[in-house]
Chains A and B, each alone.
Chain A
Amino acid sequence: MSETNGIRLSWVFVAVALISGAALLYDVAPAGASDDHDEARELMASGEVMPLADLLARPELEGLRVLEADLEREHGRMVYELELLDPTGRVDKRYYDATSGEPLGARLED
């Protein structure tokens, strides 16, 4: 390989490296995104948090559509936040202690 061709091919390798790097960087998820997911799974596995499915199986939630379910840490305890749609079209948010399942209150959404 002549020196000029070597340098030219070297630039091709540079391009491949930089394109790979850019593609990998493009796929980086926001900070914390996967950590939260891992933490939720860990809490579930250790029994510190009840499975969401158990909460949703409750009779009081029958006939309601779950628009959103979040697991959040509020004042040191884990809380499920459910956004529910009832058959009349009303949306409300209900909070449950994620460890005991105890209802913590509701808030009507506009």
Chain B
Amino acid sequence: MVAENQKVLVWDPFVRVFHWSLVLTYLVAWVSAEEWASLHEQAGYFILVLIGLRVVWGVIGTRHAQFRDFVYGRATTIGYLKSLKAGTPRHYLGHNPAGGWMVIVLLLSLVVAGVSGILIGDTEHGLWKEIHEASANLTLLLVVVHISGVIAASLMHGENLVRAMLTGRKMRRSEDV
């Protein structure tokens, strides 16, 4: 039994390396898009490899890395968003329901961007290019929402979620889900 109000390892090494590698690679892909085709393509492949590994890890990984730990149903998610709006959100040791869905939507958006990017091939214009650009832009928008959510949750719970994604450790609380 783990005592309450103590720091526990929540994010295993792969979850953290995955997160920050994805941040860095997405940045590289974004910046190299019009400048350096080869780097852009390799960055895209790496994003797909990372997500492939993350999906496997989401099934077989450690407790809070697993999808079943952070993908909640509609009622729970809406309830959480309402409590967030009211300024009294429940504290989750892993991802909260909103954060969990953000993970899913971000990964889906990146998969669409990656696959459509491959399907562009040698064509200069076309449907895949449109989809590629739209999904890459959508991802950027989601990143902004994600960072806003992280800041909001950090402030409301008085904890530094960015640091938690670096060290892997979070303070366990008695009321934790």
- Name A residues whose Cβ lies closer than 8 Å to a Cβ of B: 1, 3, 6-7, 9-11, 13-14, 16-18, 20-21, 24-25, 27-35, 38, 42
Contacts and interface: CB of A to CB of B under 8 A. Distances in A.
Nearest to B34: A35
Contacts of B42: 24-25, 27-28
Interface string B1-38: 00000000100111101100100010000000001111
B81 to A, nearest CB: 31
A95 B121 CA distance: 33
B14 A13 contact: yes
B102 interface: no
A3 B168 CA distance: 14
B62 A35 contact: no
B49 interface: yes
Nearest to B22: A17
Interface residues of B, number: 29
Nearest to A12: B14
A33 B38 contact: yes
B72 interface: no
B37 A3 contact: no
A8 to B, nearest CB: 10
A7 B13 contact: yes
Contact of A17 (B53, B61, B63): B53
For chain A, what secondary structure do more than half of its interface residues adopt (helix, strand, loop), or is it mixed? helix
B46 A7 contact: no
Given A10-B13, A18-B17, A24 B46 contact: yes
Given A13-B53, A17-B21, A42-B124, 12 more contacts: A9-B61, A10-B14, A10-B57, A10-B65, A13-B56, A13-B61, A16-B53, A17-B50, A21-B25, A25-B46, A30-B38, A31-B35
Contacts of A11: 13-14
Contacts of A10: 12-15, 57, 61-62, 65
A15 to B, nearest CB: 9
B57 to A, nearest CB: 6
A7 B45 CA distance: 26
Interface in B44-71: 45-46, 49-50, 53, 56-57, 60-63, 65
Contacts of A18: 17
A97 B61 CA distance: 62
A93 B12 CA distance: 62
30 contacts: A6-B12, A6-B61, A6-B63, A7-B12, A7-B13, A10-B13, A10-B15, A10-B62, A10-B65, A11-B13, A13-B18, A13-B53, A13-B61, A14-B13, A14-B17, A16-B53, A17-B14, A17-B53, A20-B49, A21-B21, A21-B50, A24-B45, A27-B42, A31-B35, A31-B38, A31-B39, A32-B36, A34-B37, A35-B37, A38-B37
